[in-house]
A and B are shown apart, each in its own frame.
Chain A
Amino acid sequence: MLRDLRSSIVAGAVLTLAFGLAVPAAFTGFAQVAFHHQANGSLITVRGTVVGSSLAAQSFTKARYFHERPSATSPAYNADGTAFANLGPTSPALARSVEQAAQAILKLEGPYNPGLTIHDIPVDAVTTSGSGIDPDISPAYARLQSARVAARRRLPLAAVRRLVRLHTDGRSLGFLGEPGVNVLELNLALDRLAGAGR
C-alpha cells in the first residue's frame, strides 16, 4: 500500500509534467510555426481588424447579407460558449421554434421568390446547429437566399450564384462529409465585389 502510494506520487508527478506540460508546450510551439493561421483560430482580418473566424458563424441580420442557421447559444453565435438546443424529437418547444423560423424566412425571402412555400425551406435553415456556430449553410439554403441578396445589392443573380459556388466547400477528398457554404467568407466576398449596396 505505502509502496504503491510512493510509486504513484512519483509517477503522477512525472506523467503530469510530461503529458500535461512538456508535450503540449512543445506541440504548441510546433503548431505556431508550422500552421500559424490555423493554430490561432483561422481568424479573418479585413484592413487590419479581426472580423471573425472562418470556423465560426456570426450574426447577420441585414437583408444584403446571407444569413446563418439558427443558434442556441447565448447570445446567438457565441464562439466562446457553444451549445446544443437539446430539444427532443417531439418537443413542443422545438415545434414552436421551427415554426417561428420558417415564418420569418417566408416573410424575408417571399418577396424575392414568388410562390415560395414552407415546403421549399431546407431543414438546416430552421434548425439549430450542434455547435451554435456552424459556419456553413446547405447549398439549398444559399440558393434560396441568393435572389434576395442579388436584388438588394442590384447584382445579377448569376453573379451571386457564381460566388456561392466559389464559397461552397465540397466534401473532403471528394467523398467525406457534406457540402456547405461558408457564410462569413461568402458575405465578405460580396462586400469586396460590390463595395456598396443597401
Chain B
Amino acid sequence: MGQGAAQILAYSIVLVALGYPLGLYMARVYAAPGFGSRVLGSLERGFYRIVGTDPEREQDWKSYAKTVIVFTALFFLVVYAIQRLQAHLFLNPDHEQAVAPHIALNTSVSFVTNTNWQFYGGEYTMSYFTQMTALAVQQFVSAGAGMAVLAAVIRGISRRSSSTLGNFWVDLYRSLVYVLLPLSLLLAVVLVSQGDPQTFGGHAVAHTVEGGLQLIGRGPVALMVAIKQLGTNGGGFYNSNAAVPFENPTGLTNFLEAVAILLIPVGQVFMFGKMVLARRHAWMVFASMFVLFLVGVGIAFPAEQHGSQVLRASGVDIAQGGGQSGGNMTDKEVRFGIADTALWATATTDASNGAVDGGHDAFTAVGGAVPLVNMFVGEVIFGGVGSGLYGMFFYIVIAVFVAGLMVGRTPEWLGKKIEAREIKYAAVGALFVPTLALSLTAVSIVTKLGLASVFNPGAHGFSEALYAYTSQSNNNGSAFAGYGATSFSADLGAVAMLLGRFLPMVAALALGGALAAKKVVPVSAGTFRTDGPTFAVLLVGVVVLTAGLMVFPALTLGPIVEGLTR
C-alpha cells in the first residue's frame, strides 16, 4: 500500500504544481485582446476574417449559446457522414467498411458532446481518416467549446452591469491554439518516445515465435491519445482504450496520461480565481474538489486491493508483495497494478474524461461504485474541461443560497446578489442531469429492448445499465463495457448525451448572463464569506447531499446488493 500511496501523493503534487501556473496562463489567454506574438496574432486575425466575425464584437448569453449549438450541430452531421462514407474515403489501409447507422449516430453525438462513449472497437471499425478528421478533430473542438463557455460564464461573474459575455469564436480559437494544441503536442512527443505508434502504415503482420500469425493494429495513435487525455474526451484509438500497451506503454505514460486527465480542469479553478480576483475563494473551491478526489481514490484503491468475491474464494494468491501487486487483477494490466488503476478510475470519472486503463466492469462492487458516484454528482470534482467548473458553479450558488437561508440574509456570491432567477438556473443545472440518468436507466431496465444490452447476471447487470446512462448523461464515456450495443441502447444513449451536454451548458450561460447584468454590492457584516474553510465544508456537503442522495437508492439496487453478495 505504501508504494501505491506514494504514487497518489506524487500525482497530487505534480497536478497542482503544473495546474496552478497553467491556470494563471489561461487567465491571460482569455483576457488580453492582443494575446500571442505578432505571427500568432496575424494567424488569429486571419481566422476571424474568414469566419466573418469581429473579435471586438461580443455576444450576449443567448447569442453565445446559439453559436455553440449551431456549430456543434453542423459537426454532428459531418462526423456522421464521414463514418458512413469511410469505405470510399482516403487513409483506409485496413479497408474498414461503413459504420452501422445507429452506431454512427451514437458515436457522432458522443464525440461532438465531449463524451466519447464508444459502442465500437476503434482499431477494427474506424479508418484512419475517420479517427483523425472526424473523431480526433472533435476531441479538440468539443473540448475547446467547453472551455470557451466556461470563459464566458466567468466573465459574466466578474463583470458588472454588462449585457455581453464574450465572442465564441475568439474563445474557441484561443482554447484550441494557445492551450490544447501545444499541450497535446508536448504530451504526444513523450508518448511516441515511450511506444505509442504514429504511422499511416496500416496494421503490421507478425509471424509469431510458435509459428502463428498475429495482426498488430497501428495508426496515428499518439496524438489522438494526447488530446483525448487532455480534452477530457476519453475516446481511445483501441477498443480497450488506455489499457492497451500501444496507447499506454509504461508506468511513466500512465502517470502523465492520468495527470493530463485533470490538468486543465485543475488549472481552470485557478484561472477562475485570477479572472474574478478572488484567489482565496478559488483555493476553497479547489480544496472541496480535492477532498472529494481523495475520498474517491481512498475508497477505490483499498477495495480493489482487497479483491473480488470470486478471486478471494478461488484460493489463488491475491496478497500484495512477493513480486506481484495482488488484488483484483481481472481486466487490469501488470505494469499498472492496483494503485495506478484505482487512481486512474477515480480521476477519469472526477473529470468527464472516461478513458480507462483497466476494465471497470470487472471492478469490485465498492471499487466500481466510486466511478459511478463521481459521475453522478455531475463530474464537478475538477470535472470536464470547462463543463466541470461551470457545473460546480451551480452547486456554489446552491451553497450560498443555503447559507443565506441559515443566516437570514440575501445570499451573495462574489459581490453579486443571488436571487430567484439565479437559483432557478442553478437548480436546473444541478438536478437535470441526475434526473435524466435515473430516468433513462429506468427505461432501459423495464423494456425488453433495453435489457438486451445487459451482459452480467444479477445486481451487477443493473449496475451496468446505471453506469451506462450515468456515464452518457454526464458526458463521461467510460463504461461497464459488457453493456452491449443495440440500436435501442445506441439511440437512448444519444439522447442522454445530447441533453446532458446542452441543457447544463445553456443553464450555465444563462447564469453567467444573469450575473453579468448585476451591480456589485459591498461586503457587509452579514455577508457569508466564501473564502474560508466553512464555505469549503458547506460546498462538499451540498454536492454530497444534492446528487449523492439522488443516486443512493439506485446504489442499493446495484453495487450495495452486489457488495453484500457472497
Q: How large is the interface on B (under 10, 10 to 19, 20 to 34, 35 or more residues)?
A: 35 or more
Output the residue of A91, A102, A177, A179 with the most chain B CB within 10 A: A177
B198 touches A39 (CB 8 A): yes
B324 touches A122 (CB 8 A): yes
Rounded to whole angstroms, the CA-CA distance of A158 and B78 in the bound complex is 61
B464 CB → nearest A CB, Å: 8
Q: Which of the residues B53, B203, B217, B357 comes within 8 Å of A130, measured between beta carbons?
A: B357
Rounded to whole angstroms, the CA-CA distance of A81 and B7 in the bound complex is 31
A131 touches B240 (CB 8 A): yes
Kindly state whether residue A188 has any CB partner on chain B within 8 Å: yes
| Beta-carbon nearest neighbor of B91 in chain A | A21
A window 78-104: CB within 8 A of B: 78-92, 94-95, 98-99, 102
Give every chain B residue within 8 A of A178 (Cβ-Cβ).
251, 325, 334-337, 340
A80 touches B124 (CB 8 A): yes
Rounded to whole angstroms, the CA-CA distance of A134 and B250 in the bound complex is 11
B456 touches A123 (CB 8 A): no
B358 touches A130 (CB 8 A): yes
Interface stretch, picked from B304-312, B430-438, B505-513, B532-540, is: B304-312
Output the residue of B310, B463, B562 with the most chain A CB within 10 A: B310
Give every chain B residue within 8 A of A179 (Cβ-Cβ).
323
B206 touches A52 (CB 8 A): yes
B214 touches A56 (CB 8 A): yes
Give every chain A residue within 8 A of B222 (Cβ-Cβ).
27, 31, 39
Kindly state whether residue B318 has any CB partner on chain A within 8 Å: yes
A119 CB → nearest B CB, Å: 6
A187 CB → nearest B CB, Å: 6
Contact A129/B243 with A53-B204, A84-B361 known, Cβ cut-off 8 Å: yes
Kindly state whether residue A167 has any CB partner on chain B within 8 Å: no
Kindly state whether residue B417 has any CB partner on chain A within 8 Å: no
Rounded to whole angstroms, the CA-CA distance of A79 and B172 in the bound complex is 37
B window 493-513: CB within 8 A of A: none
Give every chain B residue within 8 A of A43 (Cβ-Cβ).
204, 206, 216
B window 311-364: CB within 8 A of A: 311, 313-318, 322-337, 340, 356-359, 361-364
B196 CB → nearest A CB, Å: 7
A40 touches B329 (CB 8 A): no
A121 touches B240 (CB 8 A): no
Q: Which of the residues A8, A80, A90 comes within 8 Å of B203, measured between beta carbons?
A: A80
B46 CB → nearest A CB, Å: 9
A58 touches B251 (CB 8 A): no
Contact A53/B216 with A14-B47, A86-B361 known, Cβ cut-off 8 Å: yes
Give every chain B residue within 8 A of A123 (Cβ-Cβ).
307, 311, 316-318, 324, 326-329
| Beta-carbon nearest neighbor of A38 in chain B | B195
How many residues belonging to A are interface residues under a CB distance threshold of 8 Å? 110
B317 touches A87 (CB 8 A): no
B252 touches A141 (CB 8 A): no
Query: What sequence of 0s and 1s flags, for each residue 27-65 of chain A, a beta carbon within 8 Å of any chain B beta carbon?
Result: 110111011001111110000011111111011111001
| Beta-carbon nearest neighbor of B341 in chain A | A130
Give every chain A residue within 8 A of B332 (Cβ-Cβ).
127, 129-130
Interface stretch, picked from B69-77, B101-109, B270-278, is: B69-77
Kindly state whether residue A196 has any CB partner on chain B within 8 Å: no
A47 CB → nearest B CB, Å: 11
A20 touches B359 (CB 8 A): no
Rounded to whole angstroms, the CA-CA distance of A6 and B51 in the bound complex is 8
Q: Which of the residues A16, A19, A80, A177 comes within 8 Å of B123, measured between beta carbons?
A: A80
Rounded to whole angstroms, the CA-CA distance of A20 and B357 in the bound complex is 25
A80 CB → nearest B CB, Å: 4
Q: Which of the residues A34, A128, A184 comes within 8 Å of B209, measured between beta carbons?
A: A184
A138 CB → nearest B CB, Å: 4
B245 touches A135 (CB 8 A): yes
Kindly state whether residue B302 has any CB partner on chain A within 8 Å: no
Interface stretch, picked from B16-24, B132-140, B404-412, B517-525, is: B132-140
B window 168-205: CB within 8 A of A: 169, 172, 176, 181, 185, 188-189, 192-201, 203-205
Q: Which of the residues B7, B133, B246, B316 comes within 8 Å of A176, measured between beta carbons?
A: B7
Give every chain B residue within 8 A of A8 (Cβ-Cβ).
67, 70-71, 74
Q: Which of the residues A35, A79, A143 comes within 8 Å of B192, measured between beta carbons?
A: A35
Rounded to whole angstroms, the CA-CA distance of A102 and B316 in the bound complex is 8
B243 touches A12 (CB 8 A): no
Kindly state whether residue A150 has any CB partner on chain B within 8 Å: no
Output the residue of A60, A86, A142 with the most chain B CB within 10 A: A86
Kindly state whether residue B223 has any CB partner on chain A within 8 Å: yes
Give every chain B residue within 8 A of A62 (Cβ-Cβ).
210
Give every chain B residue within 8 A of A119 (Cβ-Cβ).
315-317
Give every chain B residue within 8 A of A5 (Cβ-Cβ).
70, 74
Kindly state whether residue B249 has any CB partner on chain A within 8 Å: yes
Kindly state whether residue B446 has any CB partner on chain A within 8 Å: no
Output the residue of A82, A129, A171 with the most chain B CB within 10 A: A82
A177 touches B335 (CB 8 A): yes
A41 touches B199 (CB 8 A): yes
Contact A169/B359 with A19-B137, A53-B204 known, Cβ cut-off 8 Å: no
Query: What sequence of 0s and 1s flags, for each residue 20-53 of chain B, a beta carbon within 8 Å of any chain A beta carbon?
Result: 0000000000000000000000000001001111
Contact A86/B317 with A4-B66, A43-B216, A94-B310 known, Cβ cut-off 8 Å: no
B323 touches A85 (CB 8 A): no
A129 touches B331 (CB 8 A): yes
Give every chain B residue within 8 A of A184 (Cβ-Cβ).
209
Rounded to whole angstroms, the CA-CA distance of A197 and B220 in the bound complex is 40
Binding site for A on B (CB under 8 A): 3, 6-7, 10, 47, 50-53, 66-67, 70-71, 74-75, 78, 121, 123-124, 132-134, 136-137, 140-141, 169, 172, 176, 181, 185, 188-189, 192-201, 203-210, 212, 214-218, 220, 222-223, 238-240, 243-246, 249-252, 254-255, 307-311, 313-318, 322-337, 340, 356-359, 361-365, 368, 455-460, 463, 480-482, 562, 565
The 4 A-B residue pairs with the shortest CB-CB distance, nearest first, are A177-B251, A130-B243, A89-B308, A86-B482
Binding site for B on A (CB under 8 A): 1, 3-12, 14-16, 19-21, 23-24, 27-28, 30-32, 34-35, 38-43, 49-56, 58-62, 65, 69, 72, 77-92, 94-95, 98-99, 102, 117-143, 169, 171-173, 175-180, 184, 187-188, 191
Q: List 17 A-B contacts (CB under 8 A).
A: A4-B71, A8-B67, A8-B70, A20-B132, A27-B185, A49-B207, A52-B208, A69-B334, A82-B238, A84-B361, A90-B308, A90-B310, A91-B457, A94-B310, A133-B245, A175-B3, A176-B251
Starting from the known contacts A30-B189, A173-B251, 15 additional A-B residue pairs (CB-CB under 8 Å) come to A19-B181, A23-B181, A38-B193, A59-B212, A60-B210, A84-B481, A92-B457, A94-B308, A94-B330, A95-B313, A123-B328, A131-B333, A169-B335, A175-B3, A180-B334
